A and B are shown apart, each in its own frame.
Chain A
Amino acid sequence: MEKAFLVKYGEIGLKGKNRYFFEETLVKRIEEALRKIDGEFTVTRPQGRIFVEGSGFDDDEVIDALSKVFGIIWICPCIMTDDNGFDDLSAQIIEYLKEELGDEPFTFKVEARRARKDYPMNSMEINVELGSRILDAFPNAKVDVHHPKYLVEVEIRERINFHFLKHKGAGGMPVGTSGKAMLLLSGGIDSPVAGYMISRRGVTIDATYFHAPPYTSERAKQKVIDLARILTKYTGPIKLHIVNFTDIQMAIYEKCPHDELTIIMRRYMMTIAEHFADLDKDQALITGESLGQVASQTMQSLYVTDHAATLPVFRPLIGFDKQDIIDISEKIGTFDTSILPYEDCCTIFVAKHPVTKPRLSAIEKSETKLKDVIDGLLKTAYDTTETILVK
């Protein structure tokens, strides 16, 4: 008998003819996640399930790595064993239950599946016989067929596997099954969460960060790289474009009304992010905006910002309260980095009373004041952008 992991996936099972593609991708993502931890692994895909087998691994490390792979619903540590008869099997199952549960009182239900029809007992017979042997072995155990605390699942194939423990997976769909998008990543709490949420729908992520030296420091930039690195645990490698935004900000500051500075800045961020999105063949932009959170995130502001982009803008946090976002940020491990106190370029020149209900025509008119310089500035920004692959 060996320890292994049964991986259960949900939504991708529903994808009709694409199912094969989804499953292949999930297996690839699982293999990538396992490459980062100690141990030798093989990932196999018999009908409708994925098994992770291997040697030299630590159980908890495997579960932790798998829990970050989108597309997985449950991670079930299981035992793989050869068929040495039913007595041997039930003894093994009882021993395993003892090892994991001690004398803890529990309710359970046995659910056998017989994929190999030459096994001498049918599923019903296994359920009944195994159930009664467990009851004999555990005086504190009870059968509960409706809401068992533990569902003891036994699957008879060439080899036999059984499990009763399970850990919640990250859900969603495997990265690489839903196209590519460009995340506008800042050092704040929201944008990493937005990237996480879209990636969870199977999307491959690229990212753009706006750096404004000397107003933002090298540490602020390092913080963003660190955030991207945390995200890669879920998303896989991220191509990060670090754009020097200072001169554009200065030009806006000099030529446009101060209370419109932030909204105009946001629009140029969209333009620049879209430039790199085109190069990277991304089909959408992702931002961490949440309706009404700050002046640049009122509906009027979002309307104006949106007009600077031609790609669809995904805003997965649009209806979230700040606390909801913080909760996710803590769960995915970006929060502690996000709250490091380095200033980002959105806050340095923010007006005391920025416009909250900008009109598109007025903003576009203000932007004409930049018409002599902006093309050159954008070109310089594109040319001087530093692109790194964060792994």
Chain B
Amino acid sequence: MQTPPYGTVPLAAELRLPTNWLDYTILAIYFVVVLGIGFAARRSVKTSLDFFLSGRSLPAWITGLAFISANLAATEILGMAANSAQYGAYTVHWYWIGAIPAMVFLGLVMMPFYYGSKVRSVPEFLLLRFDRAAHLLSSILFAFAAILIAGVNLYALAIVVEALLGWPQWVAIVVAGAFVLAYITLGGLSSAIYNEVLQFFVILAALIPITVLGLKKVGGWGGLTDKLTATHGADFTTAWGGTGIGHANPLGANWLTIVLGLGFVLSFGYWTTNFAEVQRALSAKNLSAGQRTPLIAAYPKIFIVFLVMIPGLVAAALVPKIGTSGSGLQYNDAIPYLMQELLPNGVLGIAVTGLLAAFMAGMAANVSSFNTVFTNDIWAKYVVRDREDAYYVRFGRLITAIGVCASVGTAFLASSFSNIMSYLQTLFSFFNVPMFVVFIVGMFWKRASAKSGFWGLLAGTVTAMVNYFVLYKKDIISIPTDQGANFVSAIAGFVAGAVVMVAVSLFTEPKPETELQGLVYGTRSPGMSEPPAAGDDAWYRKPALLGWGAVVLAAACYIPFSF
């Protein structure tokens, strides 16, 4: 997970919101619509491709917004606001350098290989490019990670709902689990994606009023920076202040580890190889739409940072002691605190709905990618092969139910062992890094052999973990914060994976050229040569223009935060 681990610390009890019948009506309407989408999408499911990949037929604006929404889970929203309350404007790095370049790279460079080869999942691409060992390892690790993250989302939802609405934790876990189960088993990925798009707009309707009122309360952006400069120092509202190598700053990272660790390794690993994201792009209706999926998502991503960072900063300005023992509020309470302070009934209902929707979407994205990988990559390839297509649709529905039950179990487990959960979360966060190495080497170096994939994956994962859990946690190397250690571990895992891949390749047979068509840079697959659909040659639909536009815009956004 590229998001800083969202601490599963109970929220302060005094955050109970003054909700009334109006807010609950708004929430109930949303739940009805969510289920309605599931039922209505049901009739579109005929083949396994419909169930797992929406028949590769959705338009780019839908897959693009679902792409951003799958990332905009509530753990991300609350976690990034918490990050801002703790570290200040450094949060922008997770968006402008830690997301946009990777999203653009996915759209412009990698999507032709993913979409053109017609693979149904990220591990399936590894099967074609490398071998069964790499495929099975990545499939199993992904399946575990997806269930774990779905469970963490569910548990985080239960904590927030308990604090804000007063529901017991188990009620929230079971209700949210049941809704996600219902709409995904009914409508498959189409239902998950449609709900994600809807959730995107509800979440905006929730965050914009909080941000606007929060800013008004502290006297605008000027008032906010003045207050924070007085209490937290001048670097708190800048992106790069205090990040010189050797300088101390609250983030515990310098510009080099930010650019390489976060901006390159962690972010490319997350955005380009995490199947929960890439699945949205693979469900687009043609190659052009597939390429535009992450590019369309990049534009909202550039600006969403303001909607999570400003509430975090406002909370830090209003409650300077937030997150310390001198205050009843945790960093994670930033957004719930502002909801309670500022929103009257009505908009409050929208905000609660948006938050719950975001939790469910975060869980649904993981469940819908889990069932795809488990069915197509594990079950259909290694356990029950060559059955008729309808069998795999039935199995997909069954495994969705099992997956949701497993994440409900994970959520209950998390409520008793929250330390173990955050440990496991960190553990799995290191898995994306070697995935990215294996992809980048495999896509750009024809000579990388079939066996090198598995060993690169293993070496990179182990190195990142050793660096984090042994060298950093045992104080053998000194890094001031967990975030900083995260960045350094990612870089170490990347380097180790690349070195091992090169070494193994030099001693093993390369794959024959004929088997690499459309999988390696410089080759083409039949899927890439399909003619563009009517209208896709319009200038505003050109992937290159959209992609470079996003990069330039993100770079420009840095300017006011750099001086």
Q: Are A and B co-members of a single complex? A: no
* Interface residue ranges, B against A (CB under 8 Å): none
* Interface residue ranges, A against B (CB under 8 Å): none
